[in-house]
């Protein structure tokens, strides 16, 4: 094994690292103008926790989503804190978030160059790895989307830990060679690696595999596959249980250890079927990394629930491919292709916790899940390209340039999809017509643009997809009912509100809107009053529910009760002129003319306000 410093030239290698930084930054530069898209709204734009960047108890004491739904319980305190720092430095807009993402990705490319060089002492291979990783379009979901921050900063910590661990291990090997009795590397490097492991976990939990990745690095690359020298090293890797234990204790205290619910399209999948799906998806991931022509942000398809069988052609093809992969691995071991074996092992181990193989996760498939595993693929591809260049320099350079040009072009075009909500959901709904979520969100974008007919059709498509798969899409039914109500399709709208209330009896939107629909008609007024009373009981500060309950009481000739509810609505929202107008009308009907005149004047004053 060559010494770590052999051949390192700060001028030349610094130039290569700078080239990787600049080209990587340039490939993602058009994402700097992106807005807040997808989960950015809840996690970044509308998150009150980001107002105080120094509030560590809040960041560490709440879940990532900060909602009571256990299915969404993730603990990523440093990710949330990083968004708070962005807001403090750059303001509440999206630019700062995207700038820091693009800078982090460019810095990752530099760290990849350094790691590949330190492992191989080959500049061409290291530069190829850095550029292939930095420009790869599968990373757009992590870089061009704000909440991809978790992937990026966790990767920075993982690579930083890998560099420090590598320094420690090389020191151990060097000392052992010079002094057979001495086995210690530089403890400060190991301490730094352990610290960065904890930091990586606090950005994203998938970094849990880092000790295994480091062990593979030492075993397959530094020790060239020898088992005996690794046996005394087990104690070193056992030390990584310390930061892992700290993270698990913090997670347990805040969110517990409950497994997230499987994504709905996988909900009824057996263990065997899940394993078959993971087998097939792994090969799809590899194909996507090799030739990223088709990238999508939402792979759940409600027209094709995940229940594969051994009779499915793609499932059988994936199983046969594993036999071929096993043969290739045996051949690589015989040829002592340790870097390629390390790359394959990195890909497999890094993919394991996000693959649903061990336990189902809440995502059936996602481009962002490939951010950490893709480094293994890139190392393999870089060695293949570099080896070709050694034999045929022109062919090797041409292949690398072609790959980088294609990856860069695809990255730039994919960044544009993440530019804004309208573009993102329109493209996603077109790419995956079976996605109920994409249909719902595309409908919201159509409605915002004033295309109400398209919005209504999209909402209908959303609930048809999910309901047809055996699930109930409350949000889509509500939005569809609201559109029907606005078109005065009262009976059809009431039908959908009732469908929601059959399954969610206390849903406030359905209670209030259905009550509003029914209180004007004598035969349904009693039902409307009961609905609105339930809405008020569940949310006493809901001024809209209070107001409509007051109107319903008035229609039922219960004017005293009506005035009480309207007054309650005004106490919550005194700037609403309609509430004052309704109060003036009720006071006049109760014979309290002077009070009615004052209420009417207040209503007129509020209406005159710009």
Q: What is the pLDDT of residues 291-348, one digit of tens each?
A: 999 999 999 999 999 989 888 999 999 999 999 999 999 999 999 999 999 999 999 9
Token readout for 527 is 């039902």
Query: In the predicted model, what is the mean pLDDT of residues 256-262?
Result: 72
Residue where the block lists tokens 């009308």:
585
Query: In the predicted model, what is the mean pLDDT of residues 513-529?
Result: 93
Tell me whether residue 30 is exposed, middle or buried, using C-beta atoms within 10 angstroms of its C-beta: 0 to 12, 13 to 18, 19 or more: middle
Torsion over CA of 160, 165, 166 and 167, rounded to 10 degrees?
90
Per-residue pLDDT at 1: 44
Among 503, 493, 405, 424, residue whose Cα is nearest residue 136: 405
Residue where the block lists tokens 């291990």:
169
Per-residue pLDDT at 178: 61
Rounded Cα distance between 76 and 208, Å, is: 13
Q: CB–CB of 459/480 below 8 Å? A: yes
In the chain the domains, ranked by start, together with CATH numbers, are 10-293+301-417 (no CATH), 422-608 (1.25.40.10)
Q: 414 vs 128, 137, 216, 473, 563, CA distance in Å?
A: 22, 7, 33, 29, 56
In the 8-state DSSP scheme, what is residue 41? I
**Lowest mean pLDDT, pick from 242-251, 315-324, 355-364:** 355-364
Q: CB–CB of 322/165 below 8 Å? A: no
Q: Where does 365-438 show beta strands of DSSP type E?
A: none
Per-residue pLDDT at 6: 55
Query: In the predicted model, what is the mean pLDDT of residues 382-395?
Result: 93
Strand, coil or helix: 326: helix
Write phi, then psi, for 392 (nearest 5 degrees): -135, 95
- Whether residue 182 is predicted with pLDDT greater than 70 in this model: the reply is no
Rounded Cα distance between 464 and 302, Å, is: 10
Rounded Cα distance between 32 and 523, Å, is: 57
Q: CB–CB of 337/386 below 8 Å? A: no
Per-residue pLDDT at 181: 39
Q: What is the DSSP string of 126-178?
A: HHHHHHHHHH-GGGHHHHTSGGGHHHHHHHHHHHHHHHHHHHHHHHHHHHHHH
pTM for this entry: 0.90
Token readout for 361 is 């996760």
Residues with Cβ within 8 Å of residue 150, at least 6 apart in sequence? 76, 79, 203, 204
Tell me whether residue 178 is exposed, middle or buried, using C-beta atoms within 10 angstroms of its C-beta: 0 to 12, 13 to 18, 19 or more: exposed
Say how far residue 111 (Cα) sits from the centre of its chain.
24
Q: How confident is the model at residue 159 (pLDDT cuts 50, 70, 90)?
A: very high
Among 327, 78, 318, residue whose Cα is nearest residue 202: 78
pLDDT digits (tens, 9 = 90+) for 527-566: 999 999 999 999 999 999 999 999 999 999 999 999 999 9
Token readout for 518 is 């029914």
């Amino acid at each position: 094994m060559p010494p770590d410093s052999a051949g390192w030239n700060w001028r030349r290698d610094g130039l290569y690292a700078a080239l990787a930084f600049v080209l990587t930054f340039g490939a993602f530069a058009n994402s700097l103008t992106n807005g807040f898209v997808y989960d950015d709204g809840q996690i970044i734009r509308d998150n009150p926790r980001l107002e105080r960047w120094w509030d560590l108890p809040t960041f560490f004491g709440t879940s990532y989503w900060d909602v009571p739904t256990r299915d969404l319980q993730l603990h990523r305190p440093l990710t949330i804190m990083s968004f708070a720092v962005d807001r403090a430095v750059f303001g509440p807009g999206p630019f700062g978030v995207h700038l820091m993402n693009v800078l982090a990705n460019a810095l990752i490319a530099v760290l990849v160059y350094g790691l590949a060089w330190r492992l191989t002492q080959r500049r061409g291979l290291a530069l190829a790895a850095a550029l292939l990783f930095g420009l790869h379009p599968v990373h757009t979901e992590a870089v061009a989307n704000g909440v991809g921050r978790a992937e990026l900063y966790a990767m920075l910590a993982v690579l930083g830990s890998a560099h420090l661990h590598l320094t420690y291990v090389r020191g151990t090997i060097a000392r052992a060679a010079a002094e057979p009795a001495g086995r210690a590397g530089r403890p400060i490097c190991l301490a730094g690696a352990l610290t960065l492991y904890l930091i990586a976990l606090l950005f994203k939990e998938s970094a849990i595999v880092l000790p295994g990745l480091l062990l593979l690095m030492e075993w397959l690359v530094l020790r060239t596959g020898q088992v005996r020298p690794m046996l005394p090293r087990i104690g070193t890797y056992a030390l990584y249980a310390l930061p892992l234990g700290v993270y698990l204790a913090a997670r347990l205290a805040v969110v517990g250890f409950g497994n997230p619910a499987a994504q709905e399209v996988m909900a009824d999948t057996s263990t065997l079927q899940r394993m078959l799906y993971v087998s097939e998806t792994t090969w799809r991931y590899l194909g996507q990394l090799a030739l990223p022509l088709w990238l999508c942000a939402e792979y759940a398809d409600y027209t094709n629930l995940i229940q594969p069988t051994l009779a499915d052609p793609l499932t059988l093809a994936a199983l046969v491919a594993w036999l071929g992969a096993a043969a290739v691995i045996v051949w690589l071991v015989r040829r002592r292709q340790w870097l390629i074996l390390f790359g394959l092992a990195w890909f497999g181990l890094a993919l394991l916790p996000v693959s649903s193989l061990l336990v189902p996760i809440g995502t059936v498939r996602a481009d962002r899940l490939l951010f950490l595993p893709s480094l293994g693929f890139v190392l393999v591809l870089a060695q293949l390209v570099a080896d070709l260049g050694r034999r045929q320099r022109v062919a090797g350079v041409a292949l690398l340039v072609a790959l980088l040009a294609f990856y860069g072009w695809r990255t730039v075009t994919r960044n544009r999809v993440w530019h804004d909500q309208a573009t993102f959901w329109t493209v996603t709904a077109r790419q995956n017509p079976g996605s109920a979520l994409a249909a719902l969100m595309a409908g919201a974008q159509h409605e915002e643009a004033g295309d109400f007919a398209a919005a209504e059709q999209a909402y209908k498509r959303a609930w048809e997809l999910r309901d047809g798969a055996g699930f109930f899409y409350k949000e889509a039914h509500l939005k569809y009912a609201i559109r029907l109500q606005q078109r005065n399709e009262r009976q059809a709208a009431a039908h959908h509100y009732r469908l929601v209330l059959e399954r969610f009896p206390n849903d406030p939107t359905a209670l209030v809107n259905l009550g509003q629909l029914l209180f004007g008609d004598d035969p349904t007024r009693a039902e409307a009053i009961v609905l609105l009373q339930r809405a008020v009981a569940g949310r006493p500060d809901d001024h809209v529910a209070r107001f409509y309950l007051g109107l319903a009481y008035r229609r039922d000739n219960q004017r005293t009760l009506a005035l009480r509810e309207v007054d309650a609505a005004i106490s919550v929202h005194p700037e609403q002129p309609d509430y004052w107008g309704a109060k003036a009308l009720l006071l006049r009907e109760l014979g309290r003319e002077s009070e009615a005149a004052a209420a009417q004047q207040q209503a007129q004053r509020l209406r005159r306000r710009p």
